[in-house]
Chain A
Amino acid sequence: MKYKTYNIVILAMLMIVSLSAQEMGDILIKNGTVLTITDGIKENTDVLIKDGKISKIGKNISASGIKTIDATGQYVMPGIIDAHSHIAIDVVNEATDPNTSSVFTGDAVNPFTISIYRALAGGTTTSHAMHGSANAIGGQCETIKHRWGVMDPEAMKMKGAPRTIKFALGENPMRVHGEGNSIIPRTRMGVEQIFREAFSKAQVYMQEWDEYNRNPNSGKLPPKYDLKMETMADILRGEIIVHCHSYRADEILMLVNVLRDFGVDKICFQHVNEGFKVAPELAEYGAMASVFADWWAYKFEVYYSTAYNAAILTKNGVITSINSDDAGLIRHLYHEAAKTQRYGGLTDEEALRLITINPAIQLGIDDRVGSIEEGKDGDIAIFSAHPLSIYAIAQQTIVDGIVRFDINNDTDDMRLIIDPEEKIDTYIEHIHEHEEMDRCMQDVFQFFAHSHKH
Chain B
Amino acid sequence: MKKIIILSILGLLVSTMQAQQVKKSTYGDLVLQGATVHTITNGILSNTDIYISEGKIKSIGKDLVLSGDEQVIDCSGKHVYPGFIDGGTHLGLSEVGSVSLTEDYNEIGDFIPHMQALTAVNPNGVAIPVTRVNGITTVIAKPSGGLFPGTAALINLHGYTPDDMYAGFQGVVMNFPSGGRRHRWDRRSDEDIKKAQDKAMKTLDEIWDNLALYAKIDSADQATGNKTLREYQPEYEALVPVYNGEAKLMIEVNKDKDILNALKWVEKTGVDAILTGVAEGWRVAEEIAESGVPVVTGPMTALPGRSYVRYDANYTNPSKMMEAGVKVAIRTNQTENVRNLPFEAGFAAAYGMGIEEALKAITIIPAEIFGVDDMYGSIEEGKVANLFVSTGDPFEMQSQIETLFISGWNVPIESRHTLLYNEFLHRSPGK
Contact = CB atoms under 8 A, between A and B. Distances in A.
A430 B255 contact: no
A342 to B, nearest CB: 4
Contact of A431 (B144, B334, B430): B144
B347 A390 contact: yes
A342 B178 CA distance: 38
Interface stretch (A10-18, A56-64, A193-201, A333-341): A333-341
B421 A427 contact: no
Nearest to A327: B303
B166 interface: no
Of B308, B334, B335, B347, chain A has the most CB atoms within 10 Å of the CB of: B308
A299 B96 contact: yes
Contacts of A215: none
Contact of A434 (B95, B97, B181): B97
Contacts of A277: 424, 427
A306 interface: yes
B347 A426 contact: no
22 contacts: A281-B431, A283-B431, A297-B97, A297-B127, A303-B126, A306-B418, A308-B420, A388-B398, A390-B349, A410-B310, A427-B306, A429-B178, A429-B254, A429-B255, A430-B279, A431-B144, A431-B182, A433-B333, A433-B337, A434-B97, A436-B302, A453-B100
A376 B250 CA distance: 53
Contacts of A298: 96-98, 336
Q: Which 7 A-B pairs have the closest CB atoms?
A: A280-B431, A390-B346, A299-B98, A298-B97, A308-B421, A297-B336, A427-B180
Contacts of A428: 180-184, 186, 305-306
B425 interface: yes
A414 B313 CA distance: 13
Contacts of A425: 179, 257
Given A280-B431, A342-B397, A294 B339 contact: yes
Interface residues of B, number: 70
A281 B303 CA distance: 38
Interface string A291-335: 000111111100111111001100100000000000111011001
Interface in B305-356: 305-312, 333-337, 339-340, 343, 346-347, 349-351
Nearest to A308: B421
A423 B343 CA distance: 34
Contacts of B425: 308, 311-312, 315
Nearest to B401: A342
B244 interface: no
Nearest to A407: B312
B62 to A, nearest CB: 31
Interface in B127-173: 127, 134, 144
B64 interface: no
Given A298-B97, A312-B425, A390-B346, A430 B420 contact: no
Contact of A300 (B98, B301, B417, B430): B98
A428 B309 CA distance: 12
Nearest to B180: A427
B416 interface: yes
B396 A279 contact: no
A157 B335 CA distance: 37
Of B279, B346, B399, B417, chain A has the most CB atoms within 10 Å of the CB of: B417
Contact of B430 (A280, A390, A453): A280
Contact of A423 (B190, B299, B430): B190
Contact of A308 (B127, B336, B350, B418): B418
B104 interface: no
A80 to B, nearest CB: 15
B349 A332 contact: no
Given A300-B99, A429-B183, 12 more contacts: A297-B335, A298-B336, A328-B302, A329-B301, A338-B397, A342-B134, A343-B417, A425-B179, A427-B179, A428-B180, A429-B181, A445-B185
A413 interface: yes
B421 A344 contact: yes
A294 B182 contact: no
B306 A426 contact: yes
A336 to B, nearest CB: 9
Which range contains the number of A residues in contact with the other chain?
Answer: 35 or more
Contacts of B299: 433
A393 B334 CA distance: 24
B281 to A, nearest CB: 13
A76 interface: no
B400 interface: yes
A430 B343 contact: no
B397 A390 contact: yes
Contact of A390 (B126, B257, B395): B395
A437 interface: yes
A328 B301 contact: yes
B280 interface: yes
A307 B185 contact: no
Contacts of B16: 304
A167 interface: no
B44 interface: no
Contacts of B98: 171, 298-300, 434
Nearest to B95: A297
B9 interface: yes
Nearest to A391: B350
A342 B335 contact: no
A392 interface: yes
A195 to B, nearest CB: 23
Contacts of B183: 428-431, 435
Interface in B242-257: 254-257
Nearest to A332: B301
Nearest to A295: B337
Interface in B1-22: 9, 13, 16
B396 A114 contact: no
B303 A341 contact: no
Nearest to B346: A390
Contacts of A329: 301
Contacts of B144: 431-432
A279 B431 CA distance: 9
A297 B424 CA distance: 19
Interface in B407-425: 416-418, 420-421, 424-425
A382 to B, nearest CB: 16
Contact of B305 (A171, A295, A427): A427
A121 B312 contact: yes
Contacts of A393: 350-351
Contacts of A299: 96-99
B228 to A, nearest CB: 39
B397 A335 contact: yes
B311 A121 contact: yes
Contacts of A437: 97
A430 B416 contact: no
A163 interface: no
A308 B305 CA distance: 32
Contacts of A391: 346, 349-350, 395
Given A297-B96, A339-B397, A430-B302, A446 B430 contact: no
Interface in B104-133: 126-127
A372 to B, nearest CB: 23
Contacts of B396: 389-390
A284 interface: yes
Interface in B356-409: 395-400
Interface string B177-209: 011111111100010000000000000000000
B424 A303 contact: no
Contacts of B400: 342
Interface in A380-405: 388-393
Contacts of A453: 100
A307 B349 CA distance: 24
A435 B350 CA distance: 27
